[in-house]
Amino acid sequence: MAHYLVTGAAGFIAARTTEMLLAAGHTVLGVDNLNAAYDVRVKNWRLDLLRKRPGFSFLEASVADPAILRLPRLRDRRFDAVLNLAARAGVRSSVEYPWMYVETNITGTLNMLELCREHGIPKLVLASTSSLYGANNPAPYSEDQDTSHPLSPYAASKKGAEALAHTYHALHGVDVSVVRYFTVYGPAGRPDMSVFRFVQRIREGEPILVYGDGSMSRDFTFVDDIARGTIAALRPLGFEIMNLGSDHPFQVNELIREIERHLGREADIQYAPAHPADVPATWANVEKAAQLLGWRPEVPFDEGIRRCVEWYEAERHWAKEIGVY
């Protein structure tokens, strides 16, 4: 049994990762400030499930607040690793509110690295993003490609977090695994992302908004695969950056057709100009994660979308009221 600190525990990826850690018999202290980046009812739904699991405890706090380092529940407890999954996510929102992204993604990461340094916690797993690859790298994206030209404050903040993590590895010997996530989806997903938004609005007979002509492609990766990869990255590696993706991009138009098929309903599509902060495509080369972690994605796209639709139908009595944008 190991003892883990998971930040952003009420978030989409962190909640599923925490579930898997608890199912394996470990203990988890989850930290989250339950902010209103999207409807907090989704976060509370995930958190309520975690509270029912033995081995889980929760601390409402912000990783971006330096005072978190002085809290007794973190200072006086021995952790085997920190999984820093707390983040301000979302490309378009970061253009409007860049300060929030720097605060959470850079300062928050710095605080967790300091926690590791001060208390001798040997391992930190840092969630990063495929958005770092920008628009000029050839696909599929590999970890050794240039990430110095981010197109959004979100991507720039994650680049800063990765750089800080490397600094703490070089100076203080913190073992760091950086996992770059590619368009994660699944049940109880983020309502600001396309899968939740499209399922809800198509099911409720509302129009969906597509930026561009729908030919934009994404490497949609099911949340269970991402959580497995994140946990696998807890092994000692020194300092490594690894892609976690499905290695199979789909166009937004294909996503819509798959959701229509599982719902048995046709989408009412409205189009808007492509956003300048959006990259036209993402596609993960996952060979490094396969070699270092023994990890490969397992859940096919059609199966993942089916599970999303089933979850929405089961929780529709409240999920239909969640604001999407």
Strand partners, 175: 123
Q: Are strands 3-7 and 250-251 parallel, antiparallel or unpaired?
A: unpaired
Both tokens assigned to 66: 């330096």
Peptide bond into 280 cis (omega under 30): no
Integer-rounded Cα radius of gyration of the chain: 19
Both tokens assigned to 128: 């990063």
Q: Is 47 exposed, middle or buried (0-12, 13-18, 19+ CB in 10 A)?
A: buried
Distance separating alpha carbons of residues 156 and 153, to the nearest angstrom:
5
- Taking CA atoms, 219 is separated from 33, 180, 212, 269, 280, in Å, by 29, 12, 17, 22, 11
Annotated catalytic residue within 38, 133, 154, 168: 154
**In this structure, what are the phi and psi dihedrals at residue 86, rounded to the nearest 5 degrees?**
-65, 135
Q: Is 271 a catalytic residue?
A: no
Give the 3-state secondary structure percentages of the chain, helix then strand then coil, rounded to 5: 45, 20, 40
User: Catalytic site residues?
Assistant: 154
